[in-house]
Amino acid sequence: MVSQLLPATRAPDPIAPLATRTHCPYCAFQCGMVVTAVGGGPKLEVQADPAFPVNRGQMCIKGFTAADLIDHPARLTTPRLRTRDGRLAPATWDAALDFVAERLTRLRDAHGPAALAAFGSGALTNEKAYLLGKFVRVALGSPNIDYNGRYCMASAAAGQNQAFGIDRGLPFPVADIARTKALLLWGANCAETMPPLMQWIGEQQSGGKLMVVDPRRTETARLADLHLQLTPGSDLALANGLLHLAIDERLCDLDYIARRTQGFEEVRRAVMEVHPAHVERLTGVSIDDQLRTVRWLAAEESSMLLSGRGPEQQSKGVDTVLAFTNLMLALGKVGKPASGYGCLTGQGNGQGGREHGQKADQLPGYRLIDNPEDRAAMARLWGIDPAALPGKGKSAYELLDALGPEGGIRALLVFGSNVAVASPNARHIERKLASLDLLVVCDAFENETSATAHAVLPILQWAEEEGTMTNLEGRVILRQPACAAPAGAKSDLEILCALAERLGHGERFRFSSPEAVFDELRRATAGARADYSGISYEKIRRAQGVFWPCPTVDPPGNHPGTPRLFVDRFAFPDGRARFHVVRHRPAAELPDAAYPLYFTTGRYKEHYNSGAQTRQVAALVEAKPAPRVQVHPRLASTLGVAPGGALVVESRRGSVTFEVEVSPDIRADTLFAPFHWGGKSSANVLTNPALDPSSRMPEFKVCAVRARAASTPVDGAVP
């Protein structure tokens, strides 16, 4: 039998008969929603939960339409195996799991355990992220696990760890944003990527200043008191330039610097070497605007810098984040009320997903895989010899680049990512996926990645299962089942346990429920940096979520959680934050004579990430049926294209034809396209897989392209 997992218990707090409080399946805002099973299901009705203190009754169109995925005709409910003639054909669960386990065993015997790999996701609950990490290290014995968070907030995470000694995206609740007097949104387009956050920013604006740094005049930038429309990839220079001016204008808080930090003097010397006029040339932001920005940030009693993927998804993302933490530390803001630096985490469980061991360098609780004490603690819990615990594996892009006979990874299990669309240099990755001996995709829908899979295993979706997610504030919340699961689909947890059983490790993978997995996760994180040991499902239900760290205290279960960090100390032994010397460097690829334009990427309000889910939702497809490349009117006239025309965009890695959107909102030296589609209009065919040296984040936000009008229009529907 496949299952050691009992079905999740139904939520105990129905608001109305058959109504359940749960959370949106998409972004890190994790809007509270009330889901009602119409006539007992499977049709679900979704409303925003007015009682949840983060979204306060608001949601975006993706959340409101999320239930369309549950009873969708394309939903997978039967395992599929690739047949000799290349089709995916239905199979029983036993046949599918036997096939996967046998092939994994054969490949491990022939090529060693490191030939087996898994790719996880910030969409997975904490329980799934935890169990996937354990599965790869214990049942497969491989070091090779990483996840799509490496494409997401890895640079901010690394920067915060280096500056503050801990990485919690927002070190304060979202409500603090409404109270800050000066808010600098740096490369974050929240009006489209987290619409319900705008209610807090609206409050903020009623008494404070809003500044936005973005090469495009986005919906968010349009609301700002000041928009800094910088050259793509010049963020580090700008942030250092702001610190230079702060020092020059005597705006730094020297008392705070002396009491709470170390390393300022070296940073001061380094930033004073670069003159503001040089910064103006590098960034395109006038000295006047630089001055206005830093004066607002310094003068107000509270100020905040929040970054999105714009400055982070660069090959210098970590140094850029360190320039942000340098600036906010020098101004004496970090840890003060409604102040400091934060990263707006993106994926539903982007925060928890990076804490529980699906990162190549990490063990649960933010333990480090090369720290002997952390290894010993996990080996003890898992009942294995510490020496048997694999070491550090490859980072997301490097892992995918190593697929196939040359790179040595022969089998890949994918849980929660459409890597064929989401990865930079996407055609190259498609070829790598096609060269695998075993590709297993666990998903509720077929997508571009499953197109070459040998096995596709159908999973339960958000409204059918239980588990915890950690939102962008570090608040651990509970996903609760709102309807019955369709016959034929299984939870990711069940799949992992069933495979572990077949691989001879069943005794370490027997859990009666997701909550039982959470109980092991609590023990795994006790005493670690991301300590969840004092959290329980019951406590989350009672308190609308619990902020980590939440250690076990006496009496047990009594710790209230930690909404605000850094009030008294930073997470280093001496309690002081660290300054870091960081210097501007160009993007890995800059426009030149052959490829004269910048190309950058991002998001539409209506679609989510690779589009694997939202391209299934009729209302969203109707609103945004295809990607369009944004072109400045001057550039459009030089190129000879008009709105609705077609533009061929080429980089050193590939060529894509987009429909044209002419807009004065973008710089004339830059093209922008969303990455929500694969196939012929995949933005990632163009992007550069240059990686940040420490976070291994790819440079999604900057590469060089050339463009010409297409002789024929973009053909019909996009795959």
Ligand X SMILES: Nc1nc2c(c(=O)[nH]1)N[C@H]1C(S)=C(S)[C@@H](COP(=O)(O)OP(=O)(O)OC[C@H]3O[C@@H](n4cnc5c(=O)[nH]c(N)nc54)[C@H](O)[C@@H]3O)O[C@H]1N2
Question: Under the rule (CB under 5 A), what is the footprint of Mo ion?
Answer: 152, 346-347
Among 195, 232, 357, 514, which residue interacts with ligand SF4 (rule: CB under 6 A)? 195
Nearer to Mo ion, 162 or 610 (CB): 610
308 touching ligand SF4, by CB under 6 A: no
Instruction: List binders of ligand SF4 among 175-194 (CB under 6 A).
Output: 194
C-alpha distances in Å from residue 23, one per residue of 50, 52, 55, 65:
12, 10, 10, 13
Looking at the Cβ atoms of 148 and 283, the one nearer to ligand SF4 is: 148
Among 113, 141, 196, 627, indicate the residue that binds ligand SF4 (CB under 6 A): 196
Decide if residue 675 touches ligand SF4 (CB under 6 A): no
Amino acid at 580: H
| Contact status: 700 vs ligand X (CB under 6 A) | yes
CB distance 427 to 650 below 8 Å: no
Task: Determine the Cα–Cα distance for residues 255 and 247; give it in Å rounded to an integer.
Answer: 14
Q: At residue 567, what is the residue type?
A: V
Cα-based distances in Å from 677 to 97, 213, 348, 447, 457: 31, 26, 20, 11, 23
DSSP assigned state of 153: T
Query: Mutual orientation of helices 492-502 and 126-134 as an angle, nearest 10°?
Result: 20
Q: Measured from the CB atom, is 124 or 270 closer to Mo ion?
A: 124
Nearest distance in Å: CB 347, Mo ion: 5
SS3 619: helix
Q: Within 491-530, which residues bind ligand X (CB under 6 A)? A: 492
* Torsion angle (degrees, nearest 10) of CA 610, 613, 615, 621: -120
Report the phi/psi class of residue 143: left, alpha or beta, with left for phi > 0 and alpha for psi in -120 to 50: alpha
Taking CB under 6 A as the binding criterion, the range among 103-111, 291-299, 306-314, 370-378 that sits at the site for ligand X is 306-314
Q: How far is the CB of 564 from ligand SF4 (least distance, A)?
A: 22
> Which of Mo ion, ligand X, ligand SF4, none is residue 30 near (CB under 5 to 8 Å by kind)?
ligand SF4
Residue whose CB is less far from Mo ion, 424 or 645: 424
Contact status: 609 vs ligand X (CB under 6 A): yes
Pairwise CA distance, residues 429 & 404, whole Å:
11
Give yes or no for residue 416 binding ligand X (CB under 6 A): yes
Partner touching 63 among ligand SF4, ligand X, Mo ion, none, CB below 5 to 8 Å by kind: ligand SF4
> Is residue 639 a contact residue for ligand SF4 (CB under 6 A)?
no
- Position 63 contacts ligand SF4 (CB under 6 A): yes
Candidate segments 58-66, 183-191, 276-284, 312-320, binder of ligand SF4 by CB under 6 A: 58-66
Residue 303: partners with Cβ closer than 8 Å, 6 or more residues away: 180, 181, 182, 183, 184, 296, 297, 328, 331, 333, 339
For residue 582, give the H/E element and its range. none
How many C-beta atoms surround the C-beta of residue 443 within 10 A? 23
Cα(300)–Cα(615) distance, rounded to whole angstroms? 44
Burial class (CB in 10 A: 0-12, 13-18, 19+), 407: middle
Contact letters for ligand SF4, residues 11-40 (x by CB under 6 A): -------------x-xx-xxx---------
- Binding positions for ligand SF4, rule: CB under 6 A: 24, 26-27, 29-31, 55, 59-60, 62-63, 194-196
- Binding positions for ligand X, rule: CB under 6 A: 27, 121-124, 148, 151-152, 186-190, 192-194, 213-216, 218, 232-233, 235, 308-311, 313, 346-347, 415-418, 421-422, 442-445, 447, 459, 492, 600-603, 605, 607-610, 612-613, 672, 675, 683-684, 687, 700-702
